[in-house]
Structure 1
């Protein structure tokens, strides 16, 4: 299996969606072009469809290339391409599964391995790597012997988002009809990364992949190629959000907290106070196999809180401080990412302590940016505790036509952490400007008196 970074072909068909976005800002007001069948489709399948207006073509594409035929089978290279802009796969990594169409077995594998061998008792002498009808494949850990490696393999199943680290959005394996007339496409592909949320479509035969030799002077071609596309749905991953957002500002002493039970309160009985003696027990920070969180007791009960603070106001610029806090005692977030949508992000002047990359899903609208940690400095968000936070500040030049501190304009419209949308507070609770900050209207009677005195002075 090989996970490579390549251009996403689905991006070539965005013109109609782009025009809709420009006219209507589709993320706020969907274009009213639905007929009855479309409405029924949304009602029936919206729970599984994974459309993200900030990353409309994001997906993970699995490419299966038949490289050569053998006496009783074939050798294949399987590649996983993460075309999601800001959603990666963290440790413990991806898990890929499928059902064989016939009675295929995997004789050998490099770059990854199956979790179970299955029943290979009918084989004498050489024993296959896996005899299960529905194999489950995982990536190898870094540092395995060279003869077990394959290009882009052995990352522990960790995949970066495409925009954050293109070279890290890839991982790989080699697998083993005797011809294109007898080979059957596997069925029922599943992808976990590391939890649920991904839905994979059927395998489809596509034009054969063309490869360059190591000296890049000759092209070779796969004998057969098929693709499987997997999309992510936050609803399928969890019925509750996994993060929340709080607000504060220099012009108001009040703090707008995360909404109560923003991420659900099902873990309320098992949470631990920050001063509990249980935190000193050995192994308290060890992750569980089922990724069950151990949360610090809070009113919002979220693993992650993002705090947006409007810090300073200059003549031509304004400054924001962003802090991300981890409340999960069992989870380190490797290669984390934060995405924010705000109309003034098109004028970011400087970002301190984070790396920053604008995300432009449509050419004329640049209101979304991705923040992520600097490598070897703060790209690891530690578990809950004194070190469980990262923070930065950003300086933005004011857009004089739209800039204002009124009506919560200075706060983001959407926030995503590791690809999942965070719960924002209700708009009517945002920090507001004090009355003195607004220009006081001049009474009509005062204006009339002033005009009368002016006329008398002229006469």
Structure 2
């Protein structure tokens, strides 16, 4: 009896520990579909100044299916002492802070805030305000969509930091925010100084000091309004709409009616689901002897007020594999550590890269998934609906598999 009591206590302890681990992963940023994906911030001190240093800050999106969309990212940190920012290139500060100590000075800093906020510039700013690789309007594409488009840079001149490597203290409490996502950032860690090659490839220099911060995506709260929903159809006439009120009018008995719908207020076309984006998964009937199957995926922008440039979709389905290919779009197969099979798909430049606003030409695009193999256990049902679909990193609301 005593042994059973001890065993029950141990089981309770292990369950509690497991629950804590799950909560820890969720609140501190962990994505099982992209376990190594993150936003990496690298500081390179490139030159000393009379009262501090000049640093180049690089921000790189290493996520495979999640981008940072307009109006862009916001980066912040906390200075360890009385540091301040004299000037920036390739970015702007959001708050001047308290600069009373410089009232009698001929020049004032850009910001004296203890926790400055930094925002990206657009490409239209004068060349004198830029550095190489900067000014992308805060947009960072995923690493798969493009190497140069997934990274940005800016330069800051820091004052009040001393004149030596030992006095240049690493900032703390980094935060990185995106329009539809929050990130959990690690503490900065000093790493080996970055080495730079001159344009003529004849000389190698290195930073005086380098440190890095890694920020992982945090799952959204249940209160956030979804961005998209999935509908299902087939050549055999089966049809399942998006769940009613998928994105809006939750906890209500019905959605808007077309008669009294005000486009100027909602900016979304009136539907039962009221989602800005609808993704239709259509099972095509043609099946060849080698078990080749085709799915036509149609993406529709139902938003009157905005477009979706550089869209990216993640499809999770058990039949996907390295033999899968996609027609009318770029793609890459992914296989996660927990045996998920996924395909990342994004538009082709100059073809279907941009989803235009609803009611205009280009508000709808489609691609065809072609894959081979038999459904598990020989059931055709498992070919029908995807296990999950993400649009621009947001998980879409889907009907239950039993509804199709």
Partner of residue 134, structure 1 = 115
Asked if the contact 1:333/1:381 (under 8 Å) is kept, the reply is yes
Q: Distance in 1 between matches of 2:31 and 2:340?
A: 16
Measured after TM superposition, the shift of residue 79 of structure 1 is 0.7
Partner of residue 62, structure 1 = 41
1:169 corresponds to 2:150: yes
Partner of residue 125, structure 1 = 106
Q: Distance in 1 between matches of 2:261 and 2:268?
A: 15
1:323 corresponds to 2:302: no
Higher mean Cα deviation, 85-94 or 256-265? 256-265
Partner of residue 27, structure 1 = none
Distance 1:91 1:268, change over 3 A: farther
Q: Distance in 2 between matches of 1:342 and 1:399?
A: 12
Q: How many residues align?
A: 384
Residues 234-245 of structure 1: matches in 2 within 5 Å? 234-236=219-221, 239-245=224-230
Partner of residue 279, structure 2 = 306
Partner of residue 209, structure 2 = 224
Asked if the contact 1:113/1:137 (under 8 Å) is kept, the reply is yes
| 1:132 partner SS | coil
Q: Distance in 1 between matches of 2:251 and 2:310?
A: 26
Distance 1:343 1:217, change over 3 A: farther
Distance 1:343 1:121, change over 3 A: same
Asked if the contact 2:256/2:271 (under 8 Å) is kept, the reply is no
Partner of residue 7, structure 2 = none
Q: Distance in 2 between matches of 1:66 and 1:375?
A: 36
Residues 54-453 of structure 1: matches in 2 within 5 Å? 54-123=33-102, 124-175=105-156, 176=158, 177=161, 178-236=163-221, 239-251=224-236, 253-265=237-249, 278-279=262-263, 284=264, 294-315=267-288, 316=290, 317-346=292-321, 351-361=326-336, 367-387=341-361, 389-394=363-368, 396-400=370-374, 402=376, 406-430=380-404
Q: Please, which runs of 5 or more residues in structure 2 have no aligned partner?
A: 1-12
Asked if the contact 2:319/2:383 (under 8 Å) is kept, the reply is no
Q: Distance in 1 between matches of 2:403 and 2:327?
A: 28
Residues 12-91 of structure 1: matches in 2 within 5 Å? 35=14, 38-42=17-21, 44-91=23-70
Q: Distance in 1 between matches of 2:271 and 2:321?
A: 34
Higher mean Cα deviation, 129-138 or 80-89? 129-138
Q: Please, which runs of 5 or more residues in structure 1 have no aligned partner?
A: 1-33, 286-292, 431-459
Q: TM-score, with normalisation over the residues of structure 1? A: 0.76
Q: Distance in 2 between matches of 1:415 and 1:44?
A: 23
| 1:55 partner SS | coil
Q: Tell me how large the CA RMSD over aligned residues is.
A: 3.0
Asked if the contact 1:99/1:186 (under 8 Å) is kept, the reply is yes
Asked if the contact 2:284/2:295 (under 8 Å) is kept, the reply is yes
Q: Distance in 2 between matches of 1:338 and 1:154?
A: 25
